[in-house]
């Protein structure tokens, strides 16, 4: 009788271990997919930088080094070695966008320039997608990190070498600057 009890307990433990592993894998894949979406949206936003730099070059308020920095950000973000570097770089892109649009507000003729208005709308849309993806990634990372921090699941996470995700946090959107 004791043997059957031990056998049943072992089977239950194995089933629980398998269920925990499946949950870890599912949450890990969700976080990885959310990161991929965020990364793609940031790359798409970066593709708008050359057009914005070209427009910004006509503003007296923005000096030549600023324009060079703006165009160099696209490559530096792609080459970022760590998440902290990427966050810093992406935050810098948002700050540069804000500076360009703040300078653009001093030029009333741009309110009727179709090319600039279309570029502005594209950048706002891209920024919105980045913000949405950032929230989705951080949510998936939080879900994964929460389960890896719960006892005894943290032991299972260590056993299968699941590492917690870092959060991606940078200054939010351009909406307040452009309106």
Domain positions in the chain are 21-178
The listed range with the strongest mean pLDDT (7-11, 49-53, 136-140, 147-151) is: 136-140
Q: Give CA–CA dist 31/43, Å, rounded.
A: 18
The span from the CA of 92 to the CA of 69, in Å, is 10
Non-local CB neighbours of 64 within 8 Å, separated by 6+ positions: none
Q: What is the pLDDT of residues 6-31, one digit of tens each?
A: 888 899 988 988 998 999 999 999 99
Query: Which class would CATH give 21-178?
Result: mainly alpha
What six digits make up the tokens of 67?
Answer: 């324009």
Report the alpha-carbon distance of residue 56 to residue 104 in Å, rounded. 8
| CB-based burial label for 159 (10 Å; 0-12, 13-18, 19+) | exposed
pLDDT confidence band for 36 (50 / 70 / 90): very high
Contacts of 71 (CB under 8 A, 6+ apart): 49, 50, 53
CA distances from 115 to 100, 112, 122, 139, 173 (A): 15, 9, 11, 36, 21
Window from 37-41, 74-78, 170-174 with minimum mean pLDDT: 170-174
Q: Per the confidence metrics, is the pTM higher than 0.85?
A: no
Q: Is the peptide bond before 152 cis (omega within 30 degrees of 0)?
A: yes
- Dmax (CA) of the chain: 88
Rounded to an integer, the average pLDDT of 22-49 is 93
pLDDT in tens, 66-97: 888 888 888 888 888 888 888 888 888 888 88
């Amino acid at each position: 009788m004791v043997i059957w009890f031990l056998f049943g307990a072992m089977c239950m433990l194995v089933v629980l271990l398998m269920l925990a592993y499946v949950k870890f894998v599912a949450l890990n894949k969700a976080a990885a997919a959310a990161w991929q979406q965020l990364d793609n949206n940031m790359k798409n936003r970066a593709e708008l930088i050359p057009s914005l730099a070209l427009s910004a070059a006509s503003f007296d308020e923005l000096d030549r080094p600023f324009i060079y920095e703006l165009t160099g950000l696209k490559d530096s973000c792609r080459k970022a070695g760590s998440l902290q570097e990427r966050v810093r770089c992406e935050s810098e892109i948002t700050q540069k966008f804000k500076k360009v649009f703040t300078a653009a507000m001093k030029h009333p003729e741009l309110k009727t320039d179709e090319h600039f208005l279309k570029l502005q709308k594209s950048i706002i849309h891209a920024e919105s997608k980045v913000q949405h993806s950032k929230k989705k990634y951080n949510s998936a990372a939080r879900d994964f990190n929460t389960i890896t921090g719960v006892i005894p699941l943290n032991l299972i996470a260590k056993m299968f070498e699941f590492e917690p995700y870092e959060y991606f946090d940078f200054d939010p959107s351009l909406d307040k600057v452009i309106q």
